[in-house]
Amino acid sequence: MNELRNIAIIAHVDHGKTTLVDQIMRQVRLFRENEQVRECFLDSNDLERERGITILSKNISVRYEGVKINLIDTPGHSDFGGQVERVLKLADGVLLLVDAADGPMPQTRFVLKKALELDLQPIVVINKIDKPDARPDVVLERVFDLFVELDASNEQLDFPHYYASGRDGWAAQELEDARESLRPLLDGVIGKIPAPEVHEGPVQFQVASIDYNSFVGRIGIGRVYRGTLRTGMPLTLIRRNGDTEPAQLKQLLSFEGLERRETERVPCGELCAVVGMEDIDIGDTVADAEHPESLPFVEVDEPTVA
């Protein structure tokens, strides 16, 4: 699916993840409505309310230039151990956000290491450039050194980088470029992060995280890695220990903006939430009942703080 990108956002706490995502959401909506970004920005008083919502939601998506971009929130802390890998496995690339004054911090390092090991394409954002004590050149060099230290491949070392102020709503490839909007960064995501690979064949979906809702019970959130997931199709739930059980979807939800929207089919590469399997768990595979093949399960590492 060429019109899809799955990108995980990695940042040390407070480096501006929430603010940047809020601004991206506001701006893509404004681009679409063909309004003047600057005017609305100063006028809008929705920001605080939206911030609250964004903080609570894990997977959100934006549509930009005909491409759906799934923004995947990543737990930054090593306490999450293997959970970080599973969430990163949903993505084809990472946006690494680094504070232009603080530079890389322990959580940046921990999650970046996992992302590089999973061969994800990184994009680096030196954020909060507006800070008086910002030192973008030094911080970019520190980030590069960190990549080297973490054994990044040559391709990963060649990471595209942007300077940005999430707060002020702009990103630029060079420090002297115009500071107008986040378009350059979004263009970078579309241009540099690969579209998910499409594998034809019997459907395989893997659960990366679990959500719970008192009306429908456990909800498995994950990615379709092969084929197309459809409501009503006969499925098999394959547990981590190899046990299998017949399964059926009660509901299939895709991520649209801040919402989850009911859908009947989810193509390969896309993220979704599955409802109707009572004891579904992280790492389980939902597969075509006639070809119940499991996806490899990512083992939980012992937490390590580098």
Binding residues for ligand GDP, rule: CB under 6 A, are 11, 13-19, 127-128, 130-131, 165-167
Binding residues for GTP: 14-19, 127-130
Tell me how far, at minimum, the Cβ of 64 lies from ligand GDP, in Å: 20
Cβ proximity to ligand GDP: between 167 and 218 the closer is 167
Q: Which two tokens stand for residue 81?
A: 């151990």
Which residue reads 């030192």 in tokens?
Answer: 135
How far apart are the C-alpha atoms of 95 and 70, rounded to whole Å? 12
Binding residues: 14-19, 127-130
Find how far residue 65's CA is from the centre of its chain: 18
Tell me how far, at minimum, the Cβ of 215 lies from ligand GDP, in Å: 29
Cβ proximity to ligand GDP: between 164 and 287 the closer is 164
Tell me how far, at minimum, the Cβ of 56 lies from ligand GDP, in Å: 12
Spell out a b/e string for 232-263, using b for 16 or more CB atoms within 10 Å of the CB, else e.
eeebbbbbeeeeeeebebeebbbbeeeebeeb
Dihedral sign for Cα 235, 250, 281, 1, please. positive
Count CB-CB contacts under 10 A for residue 14: 13
Tell me how far, at minimum, the Cβ of 72 lies from ligand GDP, in Å: 14
